[in-house]
């Protein structure tokens, strides 16, 4: 069985093998404490064995719900923010036809997203376009009280009820939330929506392999059983493999060794735009997990080769506090050959007959070497192919590595206390009942 692979050789000019291997014992210990639930934030490690724990019956229930939505709607709007939509978007965009919106032959509903911003124009345009479309809603909020999705859901629910009537709307709304607490749970129970539970011990950013990610992925027509199998394969491999062969432990150790050498920014790069939103998901995972107590690597991302023509300059010659992790897909899913041209005005005939991917791979290798020469350590994660199975491996790899890496950094990788600061200011400014004191204080600052 082939797995995703990590190579660290292009970082060894900057950090020695000894400096990386000094984390061998601690990373193994942290992996065990994640599995045994003995580390910091241990009430949120329910995701660690999720791939092996999720049952066939649970997956069948998700698939059956997806099927009944597919039979009714052309568009499913996933309403959620942060971990309540990023995993689904990452997988759906990685697997979808790049021009899905023009692909009228697709029998699966188009999945759109709302509740991840508070833009009035976004909501106007979304509700405007949905007026003539059969749509359904999958509303996702673990707490059930997050402002952004609550506003979007209020608007979309009202609109759907007006469009198809309350009874039919009930059939087209699925809520994914806490088992017993929160406003969304109360509403879903009152209205009689189909619901799925986000387990108590799984935080939003680690929830992609729960119904939070799986339902929207199944609605988009992707194979959630293969995705979970891939995650399970990485779960097993990350427990069994030696440190040197273990992509998750080695990644956690290498990035911490680089961090200790002053490399405080990690740029996740891809050479396939389908992976853009995998990087968005990864940024939340690592940013919320590690950025605390005035510590942590800042997670950034680029899409290559596009961004070589913008951010490439900075990466090559800017401040030397960065390292790069490249996700490389070994084998594309399609073949396109560069054609011969008799006039050859663009002087491209030397490439005629070659696959486009060969050029992409040389751009990747050339860039890695250039960036290393420019003082940027490079790590490479190689996926054999872009499909459900290897995406499952990739997601679990990043999750387990994040838990280990957070423990190496000695933070709780499962809380996010810093996210509350903006919320409390926003509530004070909006004069939310209960925030009277904060309102008075914040007004003095304006």
Binding site for ligand F6P (CB under 6 A): 81-84, 141-143, 146, 149, 204-205, 288, 416, 419
> Please, which residue, 82 or 406, has the CB nearer to ligand F6P?
82
Smallest gap, in angstroms, from Cβ of residue 175 to ligand F6P? 12
Cβ of residue 86: shortest distance to ligand F6P, in angstroms? 8
The residues annotated as belonging to the active site are 288, 423
- The SS3 assignment for 301 reads strand
- Which residue lies nearer to ligand F6P by CB, 143 or 201? 143
> Of 281 and 390, which CB lies nearer to ligand F6P in the complex structure?
281
DSSP H helices, 113-246, are 120-130, 147-164, 166-172, 183-191, 211-219, 224-240
Task: Give the separation between CA 112 and CA 297, rounded to whole angstroms.
Answer: 31
Q: Which residues, 6+ apart, have CB-to-CB distance to 21 below 8 Å?
A: 243, 253
Nearer to ligand F6P, 78 or 268 (CB): 78
- Least distance in Å: CB of 229 to ligand F6P? 25
CB-nearer residue toward ligand F6P: 83 or 230: 83
How many other β-carbons are positioned within 10 Å of the β-carbon of residue 130? Answer: 20
CB of 273 to ligand F6P, least distance (A): 24
> Of 332, 336, 301, 333, nearest to 315 (Cα)?
301
Query: Which tokens hold the place of 30?
Result: 């942290």
Order of strands, edge to edge, in the sheet holding 75-79? 110-114, 75-79, 135-141, 173-177, 194-197
CB atoms within 10 A of CB 297: 21
* Residue 210: CB minimum distance to ligand F6P, A: 11
Which token pair is 300?
A: 């950034």
Nearer to ligand F6P, 115 or 247 (CB): 115
Residues 6+ apart with CB under 8 A from 34: 45, 48, 400, 403, 404, 407
Residue 311 half-sphere exposure toward CB, CA atoms < 13 A: 14
CA distances from 148 to 7, 118, 168 (A): 40, 6, 25
Q: Tell the smallest beta-carbon distance from residue 78 to ligand F6P (Å).
A: 12
């Amino acid at each position: 069985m082939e797995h995703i692979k990590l190579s660290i050789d292009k970082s060894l000019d900057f950090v020695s093998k000894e400096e990386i291997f000094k984390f061998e014992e601690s990373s193994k210990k942290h992996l065990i404490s994640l599995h045994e639930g003995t580390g910091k934030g241990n009430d949120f490690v329910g995701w660690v064995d999720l791939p092996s724990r999720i049952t066939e019956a649970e997956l069948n229930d998700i698939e059956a719900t997806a099927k009944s939505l597919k039979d009714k709607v052309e568009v499913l709007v996933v309403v959620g923010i942060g971990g309540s939509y990023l995993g689904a978007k990452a997988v759906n965009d990685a697997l979808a036809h790049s021009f899905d919106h023009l692909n009228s032959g697709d029998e699966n509903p188009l999945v759109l997203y709302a509740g991840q911003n508070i833009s009035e124009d976004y909501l106007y345009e979304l509700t405007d376009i949905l007026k003539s479309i059969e749509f359904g809603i999958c509303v996702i909020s673990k707490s059930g009280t997050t402002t952004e999705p609550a506003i979007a859901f209020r608007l979309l629910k009202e609109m759907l009820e007006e469009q198809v009537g309350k009874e039919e709307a009930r059939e087209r709304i699925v809520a994914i939330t806490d088992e017993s607490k929160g406003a969304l749970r109360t509403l879903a129970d009152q209205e009689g929506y189909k619901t799925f539970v986000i387990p108590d011990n799984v935080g939003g950013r680690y929830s992609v392999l729960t119904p939070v990610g799986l339902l929207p992925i199944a609605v988009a027509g992707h194979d959630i059983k293969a995705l979970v199998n891939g995650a399970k394969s990485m779960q097993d491999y990350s427990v069994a493999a030696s440190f040197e062969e273990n992509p998750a432990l080695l990644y956690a150790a290498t990035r911490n060794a680089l961090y200790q050498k002053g490399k405080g920014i990690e740029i996740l790069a891809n050479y396939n735009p389908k992976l853009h939103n995998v990087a968005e998901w990864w940024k939340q995972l690592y940013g919320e997990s590690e950025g605390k107590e005035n510590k942590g690597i800042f997670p950034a991302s680029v899409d290559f080769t596009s961004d070589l023509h913008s951010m490439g300059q900075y990466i090559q010659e800017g401040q030397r506090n960065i390292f790069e992790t490249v996700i490389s897909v070994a084998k594309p899913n399609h073949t396109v050959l560069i054609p011969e041209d008799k006039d050859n005005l663009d002087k491209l005939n030397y490439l005629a007959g070659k696959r486009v991917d060969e050029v992409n791979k040389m751009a990747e290798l050339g860039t890695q070497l250039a960036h290393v020469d420019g003082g940027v350590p490079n790590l490479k994660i190689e996926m054999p192919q872009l499909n459900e199975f290897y995406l499952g491996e990739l997601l679990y790899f990043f999750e387990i590595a994040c838990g280990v890496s957070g423990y190496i950094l000695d933070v709780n990788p499962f809380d996010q206390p810093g996210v509350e600061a903006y919320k409390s200011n926003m509530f004070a400014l909006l004069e939310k009942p209960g925030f009277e004191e904060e309102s008075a204080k914040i007004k003095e600052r304006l």
